[in-house]
Structure 1
């Protein structure tokens, strides 16, 4: 059986993922995200869809799903945790678009129709769909993140974002034997430091900041990173607070313990962190030892409010624990020592340090994963450095797809 594939986004760039699969008269959609730039960037318009698949709830993969599911009333296959966290992200995207006067990509009604269209299933489950089976495997990226295995005459695996190292939050992705492997290449040509050493260095830095009388401000992504940092710091005995959207995501994670490496660790971490729920609580949190808060790239969220009060005391520290994309406030801070507050560049005088807590596999980990899956065809996506893999994957038929250029595989 032949299947035609076409990338609507994310083929040769990181973000705004979207892939169609055409089998006769049926067209399927795998992910449909946005790039949360200013203004946001979107994938190409999707054709009419009956069935859509969502790997996880980061905006670059789920952000535009309501534009399709709201329009077409198509079924959406994902884990229930991904669907519920995705709903939070979708509503937040609308909130930001309204605040910034951007054109609205969809409506609250589209989000409601999307949630009604969710067909929840979980790791190990298989569903039969128009001549082929679809099976879910853990992607090891964030809780609930999924690799889809499409089983027809052969097996085709779509990884979404994956990590092949166990973290404090989730177990590692495991290879799946397949004929065709669609795999992310975000970190092509780049390598992560040892995870345990990063954790140890980070904890020691937090202790150092608190011991000198400062506050450690840790801007974190709401989905995955906030919870991992909370677990890592839970036994320090400091006055610690958590703020922003990560609080809601943490509560959802606690309702789905089956997607966590150790649900008891997250439960214990929640007990050790006070939640900011009011303006007065936020004032109290400014005097804390540790503050974990959104936004992870310093383009919004409570983090900016905290920085206003912490920035001029060298005893304090801003500890970045996530990727800082180009043209973000976080990247500007790293490169210049300046941060935009109220649209004005401001000098940041407290300590700044970045730690690599990536939830993506690096170059070697991707290569090792490909070899363990042992496919014939390797499609590398979600990467701006895909060519870096060609030498290490010379034994495979490597396909570097282009935007809106269809290609056909036997499936």
Structure 2
């Protein structure tokens, strides 16, 4: 197989791997002040999308002039199409040049074939199967086999542990080649129950003194999980932003949800807020779960503008904060840029590890398992220390491992 790494190399974001110049696995963007796209020059005949987050799906409509066949799970299609519509709407509103237009977005919908996990299919000379990856509803790893029976397993974003929202990934197939994410190599996640308890204690402490808890959350996955956690402890929250629409799409696919009954109850018990009604939201002793998860745009900036001088309140971050985002600036320096104005944040800023990715131990166990069953080459990507992970695999597992650079090609 010929592999070309178009993005997410020694970085988090813009995932894209091209196989034999025919099949593209993911085609995302990197968020931040300046959006980064995969390196150019690709003309794939087929695109396989692991999941809906924009760092894996966000640039797929840009390839529709090639008329490729596009494959993804049903939840991934619904959620990625929602995000693509929103991206286009924001670009048009702000007068920016979008990466695609409404015609290309329509082609994206028309060209996409929705395939459930566990259902083998064939495209352009390859046998393919999506396998549950944990992470978010619909997320899948990709198992691809060529005509010479050479096989590749691409993890995408993977989590082998259960969360409140989705079950963890299990039962990996044998594969000659492994391409794995490396997001949390070197970092262990604390026990989930411990994180949940600390989060709830922090929320309750703030409510008790009359403060407001603002929880910036990714629309897909994190908003739903946080609402389920709050509901499990009898805390009724406001919910604002695209997470509500994402929830409604998830309800179409209950088989991809660990506990759809609890998810429904959590949203039934919350208070959904739309733009015109934000002024009616109670801003004392309240919890507001809202997008965007990295504080770059979205309703969260409205709520922060109301509470950024209030030391009794809190901003609780629940996800990874990419370098250059408002969320990272808030963590590092206690400031954000809000509608062109630098705001110094008086609320306490906390971060809790609700990661939907495997931690260091789980990543190492997964790689060892693959290699014990015959994997010959491992490629590490989508992380801040991909080189370290590759070195560990070479030294501790004894299998050839590489941390590709952007645009690098390999023949394996």
Q: TM-score, normalised by structure 1?
A: 0.94
Q: In the superposition, relative to structure 1, how do residues 291 and 405 fare at CA in structure 2: closer, same or farther (>3 Å)?
A: same
Greater mean deviation of Cα atoms: 106-115 or 374-383: 374-383
Q: Is the 8 A contact 1:276 1:285 kept in 2?
A: no
Q: Is the 8 A contact 1:209 1:315 kept in 2?
A: yes
Q: How does 1:28-39 map to 2 (within 5 A)?
A: 28-39=23-34
- Find out whether 1:91 has 2:85 as its counterpart: yes
Q: Please name the residue that 1:55 is paired with.
A: 50
Q: In the superposition, relative to structure 1, how do residues 309 and 126 fare at CA in structure 2: closer, same or farther (>3 Å)?
A: same
Mapped to 2, the partners of 1:130 and 1:348 lie a distance apart of: 53
Mapped to 2, the partners of 1:307 and 1:261 lie a distance apart of: 32
Mapped to 1, the partners of 2:192 and 2:235 lie a distance apart of: 23
- Deviation of 1:221 after TM superposition, in Å, equals 0.7
Q: In the superposition, relative to structure 1, how do residues 116 and 323 fare at CA in structure 2: closer, same or farther (>3 Å)?
A: same
Q: Say what the alpha-carbon RMSD is for the aligned residues.
A: 1.7
Q: How many residues align?
A: 403
Q: Is the 8 A contact 1:330 1:339 kept in 2?
A: yes
Q: Please name the residue that 2:257 is paired with.
A: 260
Mapped to 2, the partners of 1:331 and 1:241 lie a distance apart of: 24
Mapped to 2, the partners of 1:282 and 1:173 lie a distance apart of: 42
Q: Please name the residue that 2:316 is paired with.
A: 319
Q: Please name the residue that 1:303 is paired with.
A: 300
Q: In the superposition, relative to structure 1, how do residues 256 and 288 fare at CA in structure 2: closer, same or farther (>3 Å)?
A: farther
Mapped to 1, the partners of 2:384 and 2:236 lie a distance apart of: 41
Mapped to 2, the partners of 1:257 and 1:103 lie a distance apart of: 37
Q: Is the 8 A contact 1:6 1:407 kept in 2?
A: yes
SS of 1:176 mapped into structure 2: coil
- Find out whether 1:387 has 2:348 as its counterpart: no
- Find out whether 1:162 has 2:140 as its counterpart: no
- Deviation of 1:401 after TM superposition, in Å, equals 1.8
Q: How does 1:328-367 map to 2 (within 5 A)?
A: 328-367=325-364
SS of 1:227 mapped into structure 2: helix
> Which of 180, 183, 189 lines up with 1:186 in the alignment?
183
Q: Deviations over 1:103-139 (max 9, x none)?
A: 2211011111101111111111000234431111111
Q: Is the 8 A contact 2:67 2:111 kept in 1?
A: yes
Q: Is the 8 A contact 2:380 2:386 kept in 1?
A: yes
- Find out whether 1:231 has 2:231 as its counterpart: no
- Deviation of 1:46 after TM superposition, in Å, equals 4.3
SS of 2:251 mapped into structure 1: helix
- Deviation of 1:76 after TM superposition, in Å, equals 0.6
- Deviation of 1:92 after TM superposition, in Å, equals 1.7
SS of 2:4 mapped into structure 1: strand
Q: Please name the residue that 1:78 is paired with.
A: 72
Mapped to 1, the partners of 2:230 and 2:138 lie a distance apart of: 23
> Which of 284, 288, 293 lines up with 2:290 in the alignment?
293
Gaps of 5+ in 1: none
Q: In the superposition, relative to structure 1, how do residues 124 and 311 fare at CA in structure 2: closer, same or farther (>3 Å)?
A: same
- Deviation of 1:390 after TM superposition, in Å, equals 3.7
Gaps of 5+ in 2: none
Q: Please name the residue that 1:209 is paired with.
A: 206
Q: Please name the residue that 1:276 is paired with.
A: 273
Q: Please name the residue that 1:119 is paired with.
A: 113
Q: Deviations over 1:274-293 (max 9, x none)?
A: 11124225532535621100
Greater mean deviation of Cα atoms: 320-329 or 341-350: 341-350
SS of 2:193 mapped into structure 1: helix
Q: Is the 8 A contact 2:206 2:285 kept in 1?
A: no
- Deviation of 1:336 after TM superposition, in Å, equals 1.7
Q: In the superposition, relative to structure 1, how do residues 189 and 237 fare at CA in structure 2: closer, same or farther (>3 Å)?
A: closer
Greater mean deviation of Cα atoms: 330-339 or 98-107: 98-107
- Deviation of 1:340 after TM superposition, in Å, equals 1.9
Mapped to 2, the partners of 1:47 and 1:347 lie a distance apart of: 43
> Which of 103, 110, 115 lines up with 2:97 in the alignment?
103
Q: Is the 8 A contact 2:238 2:288 kept in 1?
A: yes
- Deviation of 1:271 after TM superposition, in Å, equals 1.1
Mapped to 2, the partners of 1:213 and 1:235 lie a distance apart of: 22
Q: Please name the residue that 1:7 is paired with.
A: 5
SS of 2:266 mapped into structure 1: helix
